[in-house]
Structure 1
Amino acid sequence: MSENATSRGLDAQGCIEREGSLARVPHAFRPVVAAARDRLIEVFGARLDSAYLYGSIPRGTARVGRSDLDLLVVLREEPSEADREATRALGGAVGKGFAQIDGVGILLYSRTRLLSEAETYDLGWFVACLCTPLLGEDLAEYLPRYRPDSVLARETNGDLALLLPRWRQRIAEAENPESTENADDARRPLVRFMSRHLVRTGFTLVMPRWNGWTSDLAEMAEAFGAYYPERAEQMRAAAVLGYEPTGDAAVLHSYVDDLGPWLAEEYARVHGVKAPRAQMSPCSTR
């Protein structure tokens, strides 16, 4: 394996290295992580199989007052609606208690779902490569090593065409608030979310050719642009908005009317379409 490949998030065997660690959590966010850990134990007790951090906090790149706390919670059985409500309440309580974070996002799944054959190259990869163990057994022990190949590309982000109608609905709902100010507030989270999703999808489109992994949006956009120069500026702009979103409605419409449909069609042409799931997976919604 060349030095260049190793620098792209791969180990000496060409497999994706796990990103993040508890040691990288910035000092300002450690009380937040500790509070979330304690609350998870209180809420789920022995039903909790394991819990993970993911995103900028365990990568050590979080910004005070701007970054979310992202958690994956795994239960020993299928989560109930009561479990989901408890998770929402937990996230709301932690989010209100710490000014360092801009909200809490929690994904909730069962151990069986995460280790199922259907999820090996989606949720399984997510756990093994993008999640940092926080509580309980590390399920990565039961999962394979992953390479940045076309199978991984297809099973993580090969469902964009299915998502676009839902995105259009969410945009429409955000366009009818009580005031223009509220409209900007409603659209800003959508711009952030959709920008990040499109940049990550653009990156996984070229990931097998680029031969590596990164979670940095700017680096993802540059990797994509090397193979699709005609769309490079759009992707670079989306990467910027993924970190610093605006409430511009025109941006959202350009995503669902131009960049998104083109990307979905090209993705299907190159890698095929993601196998159907009973529910959306985090690689498609985060």
Structure 2
Amino acid sequence: MSDTGQDGTAERVHCRVSDGVHGVRDSGTGLDREGYFLREGSLDRVSAPFAPVVAALRDRLAERFGPSRLTCAYLYGSVPRGTAVPGRSDLDVLLALSTGPTAADHADARAVEAELDAAFPQIDGAGILLCGVEQLLSEPERYDLGWFAACLCTPLMGEDVTSGLPRYRPTSLLARETNGDLSERLPGLQEKAAAARTDAERTRLTRVVARKLVRTGFTLVMPRWGGWTSDLTESAEVFSHYYPAHAAHMRAAARAARKPGADPELLDDLLNCLAPWLADEYLAVHGPKAPPQEP
């Protein structure tokens, strides 16, 4: 099988989990020697404080979902990257279900989140995303959810369904499909900021906004930089190299993404100064994300 890349060349379709040929990192880029993404996490990198959390997650997922419902569970974020900090890092999980998630599935996921959060003080909350296998492997999701699962997620249990997806490069197509939606999301984020009344609400929203802006800023320049990083500080620094006039704003966003607070002035600055410019620049450079297809 082959898949036609953005440049019109054929890319072989197979798993990105690199072997001895493709498994040598080009230092600092997150890519193999041929310029394709390497899967960034590994269960071997889960540090000792988080090992019992991951073990408990396995048990609860098996109990709540079972093999007939759960095709594959993935970890992503700092825990499988080995950079999680006890008491500060959250546990991020993606579940690929045999069919699209139901209301009961969402309720089970919320229950597992609450159980883990209550039982393990080393995590600052658990977050479980749900999708159906058909959606994950669909053509519209190939350069968004498919890429995310294939490159940024670590298989935890079940069958890794991403083995048939293409190998990925840090292209403008990937940038557009992963983060080309800022202009669409911005009005909703601004409305949420205006409606926030408590420090807890502002803190949560600041974290969401800051992370979104740092990721968008990084992927804006990702094809020029020619690599990948999930580190927020490094992402801001890479962006700042190409857009020094906006470096201070992006570095502030990276700090807020790591340690969010309830400062309404910072949130306003991010949403009404950095975000509108970034949304316009992203559209000019990469174009808009493809609209979702009707089910």
On whether the aligned pair clears a TM of 0.5, the verdict is yes
1:200 maps onto 2:227 in alignment: no
Measured after TM superposition, the shift of residue 21 of structure 1 is 0.4
- SS of equivalent residue, structure 1 residue 156: helix
1:63 maps onto 2:85 in alignment: yes
Work out which of the residue numbers 176, 182, 193 in structure 2 matches 1:154: 176
How many correspondences in the alignment? 271
Q: Distance in 1 between matches of 2:104 and 2:193?
A: 29
Q: CA deviation digits over 1:200-229, x for unaligned, max 9? A: 100000000000000001110011011100
1:244 maps onto 2:259 in alignment: yes
Q: Distance in 1 between matches of 2:200 and 2:146?
A: 34
Work out which of the residue numbers 28, 31, 35 in structure 1 matches 2:56: 35
Measured after TM superposition, the shift of residue 169 of structure 1 is 2.3
Inter-CA distance 32–278: structure 2 relative to 1 (3 Å threshold): farther
Give RMSD over aligned pairs. Answer: 1.6
Aligned counterpart, 2:247: 232
Q: Distance in 1 between matches of 2:124 and 2:293?
A: 30
User: Mind listing any 5+ residue stretches in structure 1 that lack a counterpart?
Assistant: 176-182, 280-286
1:277 maps onto 2:295 in alignment: no
Measured after TM superposition, the shift of residue 119 of structure 1 is 0.3
Q: Distance in 2 between matches of 1:172 and 1:47?
A: 40
What is the identity, as a one-letter code, of the residue corresponding to 1:136? G
Contact 1:49–1:75 (Cα < 8 Å) also in 2:
yes
Alignment of 1:8-157 (within 5 A): 8-45=29-66, 46-157=68-179
Aligned counterpart, 2:11: none
Measured after TM superposition, the shift of residue 258 of structure 1 is 1.2
Measured after TM superposition, the shift of residue 4 of structure 1 is 9.4
Q: CA deviation digits over 1:115-149, x for unaligned, max 9? A: 00000000010011000000111122111110000
Q: CA deviation digits over 1:2-41, x for unaligned, max 9? A: x995431110110011101000001000111111111111
What is the identity, as a one-letter code, of the residue corresponding to 2:52? P
Q: Distance in 1 between matches of 2:274 and 2:37?
A: 28
Task: Give the TM-score of the pair, scaled to structure 2.
Answer: 0.89
Contact 1:157–1:274 (Cα < 8 Å) also in 2:
yes
Contact 1:6–1:12 (Cα < 8 Å) also in 2:
no
What is the identity, as a one-letter code, of the residue corresponding to 1:130? L
User: Mind listing any 5+ residue stretches in structure 2 that lack a counterpart?
Assistant: 1-21
Work out which of the residue numbers 255, 258, 262 in structure 1 matches 2:277: 262
Structure 1 runs of 4+ off > 6 angstroms? none
Measured after TM superposition, the shift of residue 276 of structure 1 is 1.2
Q: Distance in 1 between matches of 2:159 and 2:52?
A: 22
Q: Distance in 1 between matches of 2:118 and 2:55?
A: 15
1:211 maps onto 2:233 in alignment: no
Measured after TM superposition, the shift of residue 173 of structure 1 is 2.7
- Normalized per residue, the structure richer in helix is 1
